[in-house]
Chains A and B, each alone.
Chain A
């Protein structure tokens, strides 16, 4: 069965539903749209749907396929009626079957929202007073998602059927250095954006608006209320939703011609080079130092240009890593990833909302400059932006003084990525600490004493703060050891230090105690 159908007469819903039966499915979700007896305060006694059938079939198929890919559901179908319908008749039907209910609900919602927004279908309302009016269905701007009412939606009046959205890039193609050829380069470009937070929001918005053909998004987080002061793509109703999905949807509504690819899990040493190879450029917008170093190494190895930025309170740093021979990388400045705690986070240090906006807009500018081959300085620099002092300081980087002293960027990056792969055998995830003990691990809590006092572990453990782990390594229990901290960062760093001393059976609890609580709190499906 195809994923989308138009029907000129009433359709048997039982048959549609039966078409989605799948032995791998444990959940089914359906939405039915019915003809209502009033619209915008006028009594309606029926309506008539007219579709641009060729386009509607293609677009409908595309929408349902997108939902299936995005949410990983087993089967889905959407049926839209055409012709005359009476009050109470079924106008549109969406059904989704999937392994679990969550994806089914989400995919169903996605399909009906996109159908309302994108399908070239018009409806003629027949009013009780004998009047009629054509209403374009595709102008509703996904009202049910955001409840914003478009000012033109009020009085029903005649709408000329609208063609599908055609982007207008005239304001940038007018730039002599851009032109139609530059626009074509953007359309052919594939850019990966890592992190859809404070930096990622402006980067994604500007690149989507500019017409970058394919945008990849990596983000494993769900939207938190504390993100909203700086992450401008989201709104309060989105809290708790995965950011990759929200960002993908926002980009699609901003510029439907952009193809979006989402990665809901952070990249790791085992897959990052392969993922980078599928893109022309990477923009690093995460708040994670480890991700920045990992991206640097993968960019250098795969020759993928990388645009780095990071922020702290009222200031930021920007570096473009060209990933060409002789051009400096992140490790040319700071050779080793700093110890956790040596770098602040937004959570610990605070950040003024527009600061990542400024740095993210600069990253987007650098990305477009590279893609369009616009004029840029020939040397390479670290740019320091201080928004309190209103100063920018550009510090040229001498590549001869960086990785070149240690065998060159590629050799340094290759060694670092190899170690990062080894680190992956160090990180171990458990649903609860009892499971770790059953698996034969002795637990060592590496948090500071005051943290332990506030939130002690539920099982027996040794206490040895990460700051003293090297000097007191002889106090560690024998055998397999699992180091535990709040987030998994300090424990990983400590495990790395100990492994470097030849203690190979030292492991780190992936995600720390925070990941445990999430797993324990997760409701059964």
Chain B
């Protein structure tokens, strides 16, 4: 089990009810982590609709997690 910091933007922030949280997880990859969170928060966006960044760098969804990673989920937004 590792601890990571999560940041949410746009609809994800709305659906999670927070912009930032700490999370203990045993997910093997970013993709698995997002699926876990999807169940917990009821995220409606599929993983393919998002970008993910780890420690301020965009990342592949297959990336493994490390303790104390800061992970940001970014949906495209359309408002103007």
Which residues does A use to contact B, with CB under 8 Å? 195, 197-200, 285-289, 292, 309-313, 315-317, 333-334, 336, 338-339, 341-346, 349, 351, 356, 382, 384, 386, 388-389, 393-398, 401
Contacts and interface: CB of A to CB of B under 8 A. Distances in A.
Nearest to A335: B48
B75 A342 contact: yes
Nearest to B11: A344
A313 B78 contact: no
A333 B51 contact: yes
A346 B79 contact: yes
Contacts of A339: 49
B37 to A, nearest CB: 16
Contact of B72 (A286, A336, A393): A393
Contacts of A315: 9-10, 13, 77
Contact of B76 (A310, A346, A397, A398): A310
A384 B10 CA distance: 10
B77 A343 contact: yes
A342 B49 contact: yes
Contacts of B62: none
B76 A396 contact: no
Given A338-B49, A343-B11, A386-B19, A317 B58 contact: no
19 contacts: A288-B78, A310-B76, A310-B78, A311-B80, A312-B9, A313-B10, A313-B79, A315-B13, A317-B74, A317-B76, A333-B51, A334-B49, A334-B51, A336-B48, A342-B75, A343-B10, A344-B11, A384-B72, A393-B56
Nearest to A292: B78
A344 B51 contact: no
A19 B72 CA distance: 68
Interface in B1-48: 9-11, 13-14, 19-20, 44-46, 48
Contacts of B44: 341-342
B56 to A, nearest CB: 6
Contacts of A395: 53, 56-58, 72, 74
Given A195-B80, A200-B80, A313-B10, A342 B74 contact: no
Contacts of B57: 395-396
B25 to A, nearest CB: 22
Nearest to A347: B79
B58 A287 contact: no
A487 B32 CA distance: 35
Contacts of B51: 333-334, 382
B9 A386 contact: yes
Given A334-B51, A395-B56, A312 B79 contact: yes
A320 B80 CA distance: 16
Contacts of B10: 312-313, 315, 343-344
A311 B79 contact: yes
Contacts of B75: 338, 342-343
Contacts of A341: 44
A197 B79 CA distance: 10
Given A313-B10, A386-B19, A395-B58, A338 B76 contact: yes
Contact of B14 (A313, A316, A351, A397): A313
A351 B10 CA distance: 11
B49 to A, nearest CB: 5
